[in-house]
Structure 1
């Protein structure tokens, strides 16, 4: 597996490997998480053969300094070394590795990317919010209901929240408009705290997110379509998957049960109120939350509440998928195209 500029599709230089079925990898380096999926293309799309996810908090402290701190970079490099090892062990032949909001915002991103390449051999492609949203939509598209005309698709990240207003045309999603709200669970938690969050600060988080939604709503007439019952809502993030797991009463998180499930708006609000009333240790003891997310989940609930306050769709479909799956869909389609050509 040889690095290529921009983190684009990476064919192996080994001629023997080129004659075998390709092994694909998608790496998504976000503000909070480092995620990897390894898969083989198949007739229906792709089949996952390995995965890795670690909370690295790359964007820690970025709100205050506009720089990636040394500890965050070191944690991330160690996680990327694990990714590199997994890819080598699986014989990955095609890779796309992307970085999102933390990398976009950091003044010392170039320094960080050089370190990543030197220590792991990986080149990370910093993608725009528009490309991030496009890939996320490609990843979650199979969960959209083709019988409902419009969809509000969102992804609550560590440093930003991506919103995609979509129309279903003959069952296929077409992006009408999109925005990237520069607020996510990490930067809101750093501003308002992650232990005990008072109701006043919770409302302030909601209001800040709402400020980024008003113009988007007005120029697209989204509220009118919601009132007419022509809008479905689909969310991807640790926040919505956590709330869905709690709603289902899971003793521990189970992706196979959560991905594609539905979250009721009123039930989600009740769960959010319960989590808001707990301190860090209280939330850490909740099933499907744990210590890694206990300080971040309240900010995520505030973002979700702001979205639902703006567009009161009765229920939300949950996607435990996103950018990585979107990348794999495209890599698998390219692999099938190459195979058809000979």
Structure 2
């Protein structure tokens, strides 16, 4: 079957079209993105603004049309942190449904973490042993660990790269003192989750997923995306520390010129690097591998496994 997966995140809307059937490797057919910055279109009360809702409705409608013309039999449409955290999410979701016909489901943070872990497990297989996975989004950080397809421990923390940029790093470039204070704060926030993850067992493989980790790996010397998804890519703690010292002194426009950093990600790459560094430090990780599969692939795999029917699915 041909499936469309519509991911409404804090920064972007992403449509992935794949050909897939149970027991087979999902084959990507097309990938389309648009910058929405939904988290930035949230007011002081925690509501998505009218302008933000307008942009969301327009984007979902456009992407649903693309999915239909691409021959998708089904469209799985979901939203993560920005919509999940909004006080008026129910009203916004009702408007999206009424004006586009798309039932945009909101994933809980823990479900997001677990589905991402499933994708990582399938990518590496059982021979990987116990896996610990880090995933940095715009609004949240997901941490998981387990020896099976469902993790033993799953955390979703409000430590996303976009969120911390807005809350902590408003100046461009961020000040040295501000970076140091954010480092200390992150260390404190990760103490308890790290204890639980360590108690679950020593991982045989530590993995990073998300665009942030891919960008950080590229900036520290990993192969470009053009080399294909099967090339091994890693991120080291030492390389990350050196990178932070370099990019934290640059403006966002200068960071956007670096290979592997898009213009819409350049503002939050410093915060993303600090989150990655703090997570690795909290769990004594010197090196992790970059997995090309994450949440979208996890949703596809779970649907193929369980035949989810109407749940998280809208027929077009």
TM over 0.5: yes
Aligned pairs, number: 307
* Partner deviation per Cα, 1:1-21 (whole Å, 9 max, x = no partner): xxxxxxxxxxxxxxxxxxxxx
Q: Secondary structure at the match of 1:196?
A: coil
Gaps of 5+ in 1: 1-21, 338-342
| TM-score for the superposition, normalised by structure 1 | 0.81
Q: Offset of 1:332 from its aligned partner?
A: 3.0
Q: Offset of 1:118 from its aligned partner?
A: 2.9
Q: Offset of 1:52 from its aligned partner?
A: 1.5
2:20 to 29, 41, 64: 41
* Partner deviation per Cα, 1:132-185 (whole Å, 9 max, x = no partner): 11211122223447455432212111111111122x2xxx44411111111211
Residues 94 and 331, structure 1, Cα contact 8 Å, conserved in 2: no
Q: Offset of 1:28 from its aligned partner?
A: 1.7
Structure-2 residue corresponding to 1:95: 75
Structure 2 counterparts to residues 230-249 of structure 1, below 5 A: 230-248=203-221
Does the alignment pair 1:197 with 2:157? Answer: no
Output the aligned Cα RMSD: 2.7
155-164 or 265-274, which deviates more? 265-274
Structure-2 residue corresponding to 1:31: 10
Q: Secondary structure at the match of 1:31?
A: coil
Which structure has the larger Rg? 1
1:119 to 88, 99, 103: 99
Q: Distance in 1 between matches of 2:81 and 2:10?
A: 6
Q: 1:71 to 1:260 in 2, by over 3 A?
A: farther
Structure-2 residue corresponding to 1:340: none
Gaps of 5+ in 2: 310-316
Q: Secondary structure at the match of 1:38?
A: strand
1:65 to 32, 45, 51: 45
Q: 1:239 to 1:29 in 2, by over 3 A?
A: same
Structure-2 residue corresponding to 1:213: 190
Structure-1 residue corresponding to 2:314: none
